[in-house]
Structure 1
């Protein structure tokens, strides 16, 4: 049966197993024979991919394999902390900052990962608010932002989430790009730091917030108006890596310093995963289905997927 072949040097692909045994088993009996509870795979992921997994990846993976994806979603800094202190014990770990995962988890719970998608940062906004109307009329976002009331705009908590520290870094780069003295600090005084990413979107949708600094895919997920930041500070251009690296942010609790860098999502399987083979299958599914990720609002460039570290031979990329 799939996921229970410890003596095989390389596991048979599940679709091949199903093709040869389809006449003998119903889909229910196949799932039932997966063993060791591996009819589900547990994912601990960056919160910006919650809808990607729940609405796109999870259903498609389950349909193809019969394995359910059970996800929990937090800021990627919080994800790393939960894995490090063993508060959570996922099979698959997904980060919104590839370097963050490597810095925090290599040598602890994994020694490999695969980059599978990218994204961009910008402003998601409510078009019915004064801020939204000014953007709709073509006013530069940074001018309109400085005229908002305290709490009208939100960012992720930079101590919990790469989206949060990317917002802080974007403000600093925008200050230089548009030559607006003090822009970073003035805007940080105005913005609310939201510890729960889904609440950022809910606040903008309800109109209680005029806008939020979000990833493009989050706006796509919610059918929300979105103004992408310029390439100088949207963290989407690999060619600008050196430019992005001129800004950094240090988290309060761990003292982790993240320099600005292009957005890259990566995934790995926990060394002590309860369902390691299902985990490998899910990572393989992520990297081999770029159209699914693009439909969810992510970017998959020609350079992806890109492996790092000692990637298991069982993965077919």
Structure 2
């Protein structure tokens, strides 16, 4: 057990969340704080573009994409960052009014926004799932000594390991799906359910690694770029459940997760980030320029810890003339 530290490759780089009402309240309160604290509200400043994005890209936009885009175009990026499920809901109910929408699950965006808010998107990057951890904790030390993560995870105290809230973001439901695939891969009967009783579900996706960095949690199931953002080590899951290998799409699809909030069922699928411009955008021209910038600057994305393979960028739907892929 790791009581002393309660409060792939390795690169530097349980339902304890309450009922659905409290999770929604936490999202509304904490999420808005993230949006304001990181980059301000989705305001109406001139010569700017408003972005509503998956929380895992918060630092990528704030530290890499935003400054570089503004340097090149003179257009400032004003972003808010939440779990992608929450992003889709905010667009659908018009709680937020972004120019650009960015999803950590390309299928989710198409399922939720096509026909009402857009009819196109561009996939621009991928990622991999694994464990970002604090090397100074007992968990981290034993992990670096070569002990299997899944054995260590079952020995952690409740809440030492965190995942995203699966009702709010793909990072959360991918963690649940990974536990199920790991159970089959390693012959661990009951592993998924037992681990879900132990983990803490973090409603603020951009804050996932902050608790690990401070030492209040030993580790978190996150994307590779999120560990890179914080300069923390990352253990990539095997291909069988890291959702990074497109050739294993059929294998990933053997698991699924249905959210409590909307009853949306997501099959396991490779991680793909995509972006589109909202049909209701106040400044669609600036939105198109930002999406084109994502397409034209793969090196910037790679530097942020994302992956841009030979199959990307990849368009879907009826692209506007302003987008050239």
Which bin holds the TM-score, normalised by the shorter protein?
0.7 to 0.9
Q: Could you tell me which of 91, 98, 106 is aligned with 2:106?
A: 98
Q: Could you tell me which of 169, 182, 187 is aligned with 1:174?
A: 182
Q: Could you tell me which of 169, 172, 197 is aligned with 1:189?
A: 197
Mapped partners of 1:214, 1:182: distance in 2: 22
Query: How far is the alpha carbon of 1:130 from its aligned partner?
Result: 1.1
Mapped partners of 2:204, 2:95: distance in 1: 18
Matched, 1:248 2:249: no
Misfit runs of 4+, over 4 Å: none
Query: How far is the alpha carbon of 1:38 from its aligned partner?
Result: 4.6
Query: How far is the alpha carbon of 1:316 from its aligned partner?
Result: 2.3
Q: Could you tell me which of 75, 79, 84 is aligned with 1:67?
A: 75
Secondary structure of the residue aligned to 1:150 is coil
Residue in 1 aligned with 2:295? 287
- Are the counterparts in 2 of residues 38 and 278 from structure 1 also a CA contact under 8 Å? no
Residue in 1 aligned with 2:7? none
Higher relative contact order (CA 8 A, sep 6+): 2
TM-score (norm 1): 0.88
* Higher mean C-alpha deviation, range 124-133 or range 61-70: 124-133
Query: How far is the alpha carbon of 1:37 from its aligned partner?
Result: 5.3
- Return 5+ residue gaps in structure 2 as ranges: 1-43
- Are the counterparts in 2 of residues 91 and 276 from structure 1 also a CA contact under 8 Å? yes
C-alpha offsets along residues 11-53 of structure 1, whole Å, 9 cap, x if unaligned?
A: xxxxxxxxxxxxxxxxxxxxxxxxx955000000000000000
Matched, 1:276 2:284: yes
- Are the counterparts in 1 of residues 81 and 206 from structure 2 also a CA contact under 8 Å? no
Secondary structure of the residue aligned to 1:316 is coil
- Are the counterparts in 2 of residues 41 and 67 from structure 1 also a CA contact under 8 Å? yes
Secondary structure of the residue aligned to 1:314 is coil
Q: Could you tell me which of 194, 205, 217 is aligned with 1:209?
A: 217
Secondary structure of the residue aligned to 1:114 is strand
- Structure whose CA Rg is larger: 1
For the aligned residues, what is the CA RMSD?
A: 0.9
Matched, 1:147 2:162: no
Secondary structure of the residue aligned to 1:73 is strand
The alpha-carbon distance between structure 1 residues 37 and 205, as it changes in their structure 2 partners (threshold 3 A), is: closer
Mapped partners of 2:261, 2:229: distance in 1: 31
Count of matched residue positions in the alignment of Structure 1 and Structure 2: 282
Secondary structure of the residue aligned to 2:262 is coil
Secondary structure of the residue aligned to 1:308 is strand
Secondary structure of the residue aligned to 1:42 is strand
TM-score (norm 2): 0.86
- Are the counterparts in 2 of residues 158 and 165 from structure 1 also a CA contact under 8 Å? yes
